[in-house]
């Protein structure tokens, strides 16, 4: 617990009205959207300038407490969870769009801007901000940059890091660093921007972010295609890419997910269907027309039984509802649902799908799988009940086996949710010892006192492998928001 003297110093820096230490406040910031228990933070602070953050960080280094930056807390890997002797540092109140520069296709934003708000604002000027994490309606840009968030438009448009042009960032020593800028080409020195992006709050706190925007495509078209087997759907994905078509969305739902979504939303999905692909094309109308014909043909050739095409924007939104409701629908279907985030090379998608089925069957765990098929990035959801110790252990075992399968297939244990606390266990197995050494050394070099979001991504000293921590048992459910 930090001393009253430190609390006093924090109040001097940010003003008493921006420090919260009631039990309610501490509890409210003791969890995020991951299924992990964490200790309460000692206090919660809401600084309002980069200089204040710098002073807080300097104080943390002097007094040896730890600082956990936090946006909306929508992360699924525990990246914003408190640790012992920590304070939560809020950035979500800094929510101004500072500049929309149409000539240089860029925007300056504060870290607390909500992703969907930015998307709507730039659309007014005829642009889009492509990264589209499922949590866009509540996640912050600062959090997106910290996690290098992915989402539904990754296949065609890439992920958050592809849109970060520059930043103001407070380093773990309290130094204020500016890097990047509006020049689209810049090779002056090491690329610091891209290592800070996706560093999960362990290497810096973003206080201003420069993002790239792009012209809004002329039109878009949305399809739902129903398939008799998951294998047919997975092979359709490969066939679309091989035909040199790049959809802006190419999402998959398995039968378990379809049943849960229908049970939740009653939008009329055929619950006998083994798999659904959600496909969106965008671009010039003439191109979308041509590609749509081809996509239709490819789906039919791979045994699609029905293909629904949205006739207008509201129908398109309706078709996307199935996909956007997937996480919430699965989460409410069983007492405990745990979400995975494996990704594999696209060619291995069908193999991953069948490995997930085998693992579920072998371990007697119901798994609902959906995700970004076009990216090879799937979210298997393990449907279990934490009160049933044996069933829960079988689910835990399945998670590890699916992660190992992803590694086997040349893939990754996390495509877009980050490592946080949730994925540390298999990180070294995946990236290898030289990479782990380089990551640890980088962290130690930049944060010698280990005060910024410690223990996320990796422990500084390697620990022996063991069973997953039992505090993963606290699985929260999200009834109202679909956000993966």
Distance CA 327, CA 383 (A): 11
> In the set 419, 451, 482, 484, which binds its own copies (CB under 8 A)?
419
> In the set 96, 445, 459, 476, which binds its own copies (CB under 8 A)?
445
DSSP 428-461: HHHH-HHHHHHHHHHHHHH-TT--BSTTSSS-SS
Candidate ranges 21-29, 41-49, 157-165, 295-303; the one touching its own copies (CB under 8 A): 157-165
Instruction: Look at residue 283 and give its three-state secondary structure.
Output: strand
CA end-to-end span of the chain, whole Å? 35
> In the set 8, 12, 22, 126, which binds its own copies (CB under 8 A)?
126
> In the set 30, 83, 95, 162, which binds its own copies (CB under 8 A)?
162
Number of other CB atoms surrounding residue 125 within 10 Å: 12
Output the six-digit token pair for 84: 């012992």
Name which of 419, 394, 276, 398 is nearest 341 in CA terms: 419
Residue 418 binds its own copies (CB under 8 A)? yes
Residue 344 binds its own copies (CB under 8 A)? yes
Q: Residues in contact with its own copies, total (CB under 8 A)? A: 86
Residue 340 binds its own copies (CB under 8 A)? no
Candidate ranges 16-24, 353-361, 415-423, 474-482; the one touching its own copies (CB under 8 A): 415-423
Residue 320 binds its own copies (CB under 8 A)? no
Nearer to its own copies, 203 or 402 (CB): 203
Across the strands, what pairs with 227?
275
Site residues for its own copies, 65-104, by CB under 8 A, read 101-104
Residue 33 binds its own copies (CB under 8 A)? no
> In the set 112, 130, 154, 454, which binds its own copies (CB under 8 A)?
154
Minimum distance between the CB of residue 377 and its own copies, rounded to whole angstroms? 5
Q: What is the distance, to the nearest Å, from the Cα of residue 82 to the centroid of all Cα atoms in its chain?
A: 19
The CA-atom distances, in angstroms, between 180 and each of 31, 169, 205, 343, 446 are 33, 11, 16, 29, 19
Residue 450 binds its own copies (CB under 8 A)? no
Minimum distance between the CB of residue 317 and its own copies, rounded to whole angstroms? 25
Minimum distance between the CB of residue 461 and its own copies, rounded to whole angstroms? 16
Site residues for its own copies, 346-385, by CB under 8 A, read 346-347, 372, 375-377
Residue 432 binds its own copies (CB under 8 A)? yes
Candidate ranges 30-38, 261-269, 390-398, 436-444; the one touching its own copies (CB under 8 A): 436-444
* CB proximity list for 72: less than 8 A, separation 6 or greater: 92, 114, 135, 138, 139, 140, 143
Distance CA 203, CA 446 (A): 7
């Amino acid at each position: 617990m930090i001393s009253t003297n430190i609390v006093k110093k924090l109040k001097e820096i940010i003003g008493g009205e921006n420090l919260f230490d009631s039990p309610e406040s501490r509890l409210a910031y003791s969890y995020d959207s991951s299924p992990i228990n964490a200790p309460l933070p000692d206090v919660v602070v809401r600084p309002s300038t980069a200089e204040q953050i710098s002073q807080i960080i300097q104080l943390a280094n002097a007094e040896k407490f730890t600082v956990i930056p936090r946006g909306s807390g929508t992360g699924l890997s525990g990246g914003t969870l408190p640790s012992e002797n920590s304070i939560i540092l809020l950035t979500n109140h800094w929510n101004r769009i500072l500049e929309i520069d149409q000539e240089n296709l860029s925007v300056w934003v504060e870290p607390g801007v909500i992703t969907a708000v930015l998307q709507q604002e730039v659309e007014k000027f005829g642009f889009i901000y492509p990264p589209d994490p499922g949590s866009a309606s509540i996640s912050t840009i600062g959090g997106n940059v910290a996690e290098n968030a992915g989402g539904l438009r990754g296949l065609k448009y890439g992920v958050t890091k592809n849109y970060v042009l520059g930043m103001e960032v407070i380093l773990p020593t309290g130094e204020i660093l500016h890097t990047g800028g509006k020049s689209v080409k810049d090779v002056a020195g090491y690329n610091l921007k891209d290592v800070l992006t996706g560093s999960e709050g362990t290497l810096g706190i973003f206080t201003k972010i420069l993002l790239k925007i792009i012209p809004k495509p002329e039109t878009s078209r949305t399809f739902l295609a129903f398939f008799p087997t998951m294998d047919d759907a997975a092979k359709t994905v490969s066939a679309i890419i091989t035909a040199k078509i790049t959809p802006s969305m190419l999402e998959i739902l398995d039968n378990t997910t379809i049943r849960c979504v229908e049970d939740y939303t009653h939008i009329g999905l055929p619950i006998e269907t083994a798999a659904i692909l959600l496909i969106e094309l965008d671009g010039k109308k003439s191109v979308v027309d041509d590609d749509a014909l081809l996509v239709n043909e490819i789906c039919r050739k791979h045994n699609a039984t029905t293909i629904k095409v949205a006739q207008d924007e509201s129908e398109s939104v309706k078709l996307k509802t199935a996909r956007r409701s997937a996480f919430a629908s699965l989460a409410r279907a069983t007492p405990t649902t745990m979400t995975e985030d494996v990704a594999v090379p696209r060619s291995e998608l069908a193999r991953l799908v069948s490995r997930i089925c085998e693992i579920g069957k072998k371990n007697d765990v119901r798994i609902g799988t959906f995700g970004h098929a076009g990216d090879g990035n799937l979210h298997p959801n393990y449907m279990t009940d934490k009160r049933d110790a044996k069933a829960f252990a079988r689910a835990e075992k399945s998670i590890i086996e699916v992660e190992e399968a992803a590694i086997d297939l040349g893939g990754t244990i996390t495509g877009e949710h980050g490592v946080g606390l949730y994925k540390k266990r298999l990180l070294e197995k995946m990236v290898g010892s030289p990479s782990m050494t380089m990551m640890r050394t980088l962290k130690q070099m930049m944060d010698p006192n280990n005060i910024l979001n410690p223990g996320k991504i990796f422990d500084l000293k390697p620990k022996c492998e063991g069973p997953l921590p039992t505090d993963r048992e606290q699985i929260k459910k999200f009834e109202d928001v679909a956000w993966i």
